Amino acid sequence: MTDKMKTRFPLGRGIILAVLLLFSVIQLFPLVWLIDFSLASNTEFFTSKLLIMPKEIQWGNYPRAFIDGHFLLYLKNSLLVNTLAVVVVLVLSICSAYAVTRMRWKFSQAAKSVILLGMMIPIHATLIPNYMIYDFLGVRDTLWSLLLPYVAFSLPQGLFLAASYMESVSKEIEEAAIIDGCGTFRLLGSIITPMMKSSLITVMIMTYLNNWNEFMMASTYLSTSKWKTLPFSILEFTGQYRANVAVQFAVMTLTAAPAIIIYIILSKHITKGVAMGAVKG
Amino acid sequence: MKKILVSLLAAVMVFGATACSPSGQQTSGGKTVIKVFSNLPDRTTGQGLVEQKIFDQYMAENQDIDIQVEALDDEAYKIKMKAYASGTNLPDLISVWGQPSFLDGYIDAGLIAELDPNDYDGYGFVEGSLAGFSKNGKLYGLPRNTDMIAFYYNQKLFGDNNWSVPATYDELLALAPKIAAAGISPVAMDGNDKWPISIFITDLLVKIAGTSYQAETLKAISSGDFSHPMYAEAARLLQDAFDAGLFQPGFEQQDYGTAQNLFINGQAAMFYMGSWEMSMANNQEIQPEVRDNIRAFTMPVVSGGAGVATDIAAWNGGGHSVVAKSPVKDKAVALLNYIYKPENWTKIAWENNVCMSAQDFSQYKTGSETPVQLQLIDIFSQATSISGTTINDLGSSDFKTKFEDLSQQISIKSITPEDAISALAN
């Protein structure tokens, strides 16, 4: 919208602003709700009101979430597992996308299809077979038992986005680089990867967010608290029949915070990346 | 670039390798490790607290033992238990449910260690409480608590409005519109979790069939023939409750916490739940006008039914077993026996107002019991018969899923009793 238009259509701009504001409120409401209820007591929780004003603000929910929920240990584990998963997924996505879009070999399309098929496999179906494999390999209850499935379940999406973008990168640039004496890995690292920044950031964020809240695999493959991740914090407040929901909300607020911060920092790239994926996919 | 990539991958591999720890290790700092897999993840309140207290006490008394607890909630617990059963590295002591739907598969697979009933002669287990943990005359586990189902009600609310505790099911249904007219829900029901509705059906079956409920139902499940009129009758009575508006609107979508909070916040006059909720009377977070007025009654009699008021729905659900292939089996059995010494589980659970144990707890009365606690003890001690395992847990795990789904459908009249029974038979 140009400056001229802005002055000519103040009403239109007002409507757009109002609509955007409305959407922002709708989008942000669950977060406000989460924080609001995380400061209430467990018995105030279920009410017909949308938001509540706690009789007494329960700041104590946060220290409980922090200490009894082993927040720091689980946060460290979550950050580590997720960062490693993102790094591995990015490296594998770029390499495999290059292999199936640029390299000419007999089974390139078949290999791509097989990896993409991974998107169809429900996590539940893999729990027990994977457990048996990890048990056999002796990697149960180690970092590998989370890293391997997280990478495996995120790779199809990563390959899909990376490959669809890579197909649109002009071959002439690569040819020019090769003529100048550039090797395959340098070509990937210095020429292609920087051009794919937006779509790779999308891969990165999707991998991060998908695995950040993952619990089913983590609860099956891990036994001791050494590598447990943040969703286990919520579990610490689950009784046999009922839960301390208020403290769980405090845990959820603390858990959501890093993911939200990362999203805010990278949101520009995500929107760009997803739009590109949508056009070129 | 190649170098960076290679070093990055190498770093990841090295880090991962150092992260690996040897599996199957059974000692830690010279101590024997007993691995416990529990379904009580909250170790700071309720039964999880009692369990943890006993473990801490045991470790203090036995310096050579290290008890390592892994705890998950029921759903995740059951999935992980299947995974454990298919691997080689099982824990030593596990939480179990004394119900064929859970325990039979593991017993048949030879995973659960047989216990010696003579070890428990002086333990005061309530008669029949070991039945769910036994198969073919052999004992495989011990029950943690005795659960019974009740209608919790707000005595003051009843008194102020001249509502009386119903003596028959018809009176209960007749009470529903009167309570609704006062602008609150008659009974808060956790319909979303489905099992409370299945327990409601069990409660009705007990009042219809009396003491023959369990024998008949076991027969029906094994033959797939549910033509006995009590099943259709129970389904019809449940649908009568729906017609009378006994449960809160949308109960089938409301979970445990939501239903409970309706009652706690005075938005429902009654709450249908197990005896473990007697601790509501001690919960300082509940407003005193509700907390101090909580009382309980059991399912009233059904007209024409064989069951009398003192035939109640009660069972022994959760408990512990020892894994047969555990490398420290003897030590795990010793720990199990320690947990269930009457002065441990029974006493600590009762004193903390957590639950009624499956053992005789009369000697541990403190004199400071709440009225509802005393009421529930009275109901239990005066019972002429108890139902045992509820109907949803009497069959296989498939039967459990099917029955619980159907009971929810019956409760909202989305299926007729006849169709439900024929669906059950298939």
Q: What is the pLDDT of residues B287-331, one digit of tens each?
A: 888 999 999 999 999 999 999 999 999 998 889 999 999 999 999
The predicted structure's pLDDT at residue B26: 67
- Identity of the residue in A139, A237, A238 whose CB atom sits nearest the CB atom of B20: A139
Instruction: Print the SS3 string covering chain B.
Output: CHHHHHHHHHHHHHHHHHHCCCCCCCEECCEEEEEEEECCCCCCCHHHHHHHHHHHHHHHHCCCEEEEEEECCHHHHHHHHHHHHHCCCCCCEEEEECCHHHHHHHHHCCCECCECHHHHHHHCECCCCCHHHEECCEECCEECEEEEEEEEEEHHHHHHCCCCCCCEHHHHHHHHHHHHHCCCEEEECCCCCCHHHHHHHHHHHHHHHHHHHHHHHHHHHHHCCCCCHHHHHHHHHHHHHHHHCCECCCHHHCCHHHHHHHHHCCCEEEEEEEHHHHHHHHCCCCCHHHHCCEEEECCCECCCCCCCCCEECEECCEEEEEECCCCCHHHHHHHHHHHCCCCCHHHHHHHCCCCEECECCHHHCCCCCCHHHHHHHHHHHCCCEECCCCHHHCCCHHHHHHHHHHHHHHHCCCCCHHHHHHHHHC
Higher pLDDT, A49 or B59: B59
Assess B265–A contact: CB distance below 8 Å, yes or no: yes
Instruction: Print the SS3 string covering chain A.
Output: CCHHHHHHCHHHHHHHHHHHHHHHHHHHHHHHHHHHHHCCCHHHCCCCCCCCCCCCCCCCHHHHHHHCCCHHHHHHHHHHHHHHHHHHHHHHHHHHHHHHHCCCCCCHHHHHHHHHHHHHCCHHHHHHHHHHHHHHHCCCCCCHHHHHHHHHHHHHHHHHHHHHHHCCCCHHHHHHHHHCCCCHHHHHHHHHHHHCHHHHHHHHHHHHHHHHCCCHHHHHHCCCHHHCCCHHHHHCCECCCCECHHHHHHHHHHHHHHHHHHHHHHHHHHHHHHHHHHHHC
Axis-axis angle for helices B229-244, B169-181 (nearest 10): 20
The amino acid occupying position B50 is V
Q: Which of A37, A45, A46 to mutate to test the interface with B (most CBs of B within 10 A)?
A: A46
Query: How long, in residues, is chain A?
Result: 281
Residue-averaged pLDDT of chain A: 85
The predicted structure's pLDDT at residue B257: 82
- Identity of the residue in A142, A147, A238 whose CB atom sits nearest the CB atom of B73: A238
Place B371 in a pLDDT band, splitting at 50, 70 and 90.
very high
For A95-123, the pLDDT digits (tens) are: 999 999 988 888 989 999 999 998 888 88
The predicted structure's pLDDT at residue B329: 95
- Residue B125: beta bridge partners? B359
Rounded to the nearest 5 degrees, what angle is found at the Cα of B108, between the Cα atoms of B103 and B109? Answer: 100
The predicted structure's pLDDT at residue B336: 96
Place A223 in a pLDDT band, splitting at 50, 70 and 90.
confident
Residues forming CATH 3.40.190.10 domain(s) in chain B? 28-144+316-364, 147-314+377-425
B24, pLDDT greater than 60: no
Higher pLDDT, A4 or B426: B426
Phi and psi, residue A160, nearest 5°: -60, -50
The predicted structure's pLDDT at residue B236: 96
Cross-chain residue pair A128–B20, CB shorter than 8 Å: no
B105 in Cβ contact with B96 (< 8 Å):
no
According to CATH, the topology of domain B147-314+377-425 is: D-Maltodextrin-Binding Protein; domain 2 (3.40.190)
B80, pLDDT greater than 80: yes
A222 in Cβ contact with A228 (< 8 Å):
yes
Assess B285–A contact: CB distance below 8 Å, yes or no: yes
Percent over 90 (pLDDT), chain B: 62
At B60, list the tokens. Answer: 């203090």
Number of Cβ within 10 Å of residue A55's Cβ equals 11
CB contacts of B20 in chain A (<8 Å) are: 138-139, 142-144
The predicted model gives B3-15 an average pLDDT of 52
B222, pLDDT greater than 50: yes
B12, pLDDT greater than 60: no
The predicted model gives B14-43 an average pLDDT of 69
The predicted structure's pLDDT at residue B2: 53
Phi and psi, residue B228, nearest 5°: -55, 130
Lowest mean pLDDT among A4-13, A243-252, B210-219: A4-13
The predicted model gives A65-71 an average pLDDT of 86
**List of domains in chain A:** 68-280 (1.10.3720.10)
Alpha carbon of B41: minimum distance to chain A alpha carbons (Å): 5
CB contacts of B274 in chain A (<8 Å) are: 241
Cross-chain residue pair B16–A185, CB shorter than 8 Å: no
Alpha carbon of A140: minimum distance to chain B alpha carbons (Å): 8
Place B357 in a pLDDT band, splitting at 50, 70 and 90.
confident
For A28-51, the pLDDT digits (tens) are: 888 888 898 888 887 776 666 777
B311 in Cβ contact with B299 (< 8 Å):
no
Assess B79–A contact: CB distance below 8 Å, yes or no: yes
The predicted model gives A217-230 an average pLDDT of 91
- Residue B27: beta bridge partners? B32
C-alpha gyration radius of chain A = 23
Cross-chain residue pair B257–A84, CB shorter than 8 Å: no
Assess B25–A contact: CB distance below 8 Å, yes or no: no
B210 in Cβ contact with B390 (< 8 Å):
no
The predicted structure's pLDDT at residue A8: 61
For B156-178, the pLDDT digits (tens) are: 999 999 999 999 999 999 999 99
Cross-chain residue pair A144–B41, CB shorter than 8 Å: no
Residue-averaged pLDDT of chain B: 89
A6, pLDDT greater than 90: no
- Identity of the residue in A68, A186, A235 whose CB atom sits nearest the CB atom of B44: A68
Cα B375 to Cα B281: distance, rounded to the nearest angstrom:
12
Cross-chain residue pair B12–A45, CB shorter than 8 Å: no
Alpha carbon of A122: minimum distance to chain B alpha carbons (Å): 15
Cα A135 to Cα A140: distance, rounded to the nearest angstrom:
5
- In the CATH scheme, what is the homologous superfamily, with its name and number, of domain B28-144+316-364? Periplasmic binding protein-like II (3.40.190.10)
* Dihedral angle sign, alpha carbons of residues A62, A67, A69, A72: positive
The predicted structure's pLDDT at residue B21: 39
Cα B82 to Cα B75: distance, rounded to the nearest angstrom:
11
The predicted model gives B193-198 an average pLDDT of 94
For B249-269, the pLDDT digits (tens) are: 999 999 888 898 889 888 999
Place B197 in a pLDDT band, splitting at 50, 70 and 90.
very high
pTM: 0.77
Cross-chain residue pair A185–B2, CB shorter than 8 Å: yes
Report the Cα–Cα distance between both ends of chain B, in Å, rounded. 64
Q: Which of B9, B67, B89, B95 to mutate to test the interface with A (most CBs of A within 10 A)?
A: B89
Report the Cα–Cα distance between both ends of chain A, in Å, rounded. 28
Cα B238 to Cα B167: distance, rounded to the nearest angstrom:
17
Report ipTM (2 d.p.).
0.71
Place A241 in a pLDDT band, splitting at 50, 70 and 90.
low
C-alpha gyration radius of chain B = 24
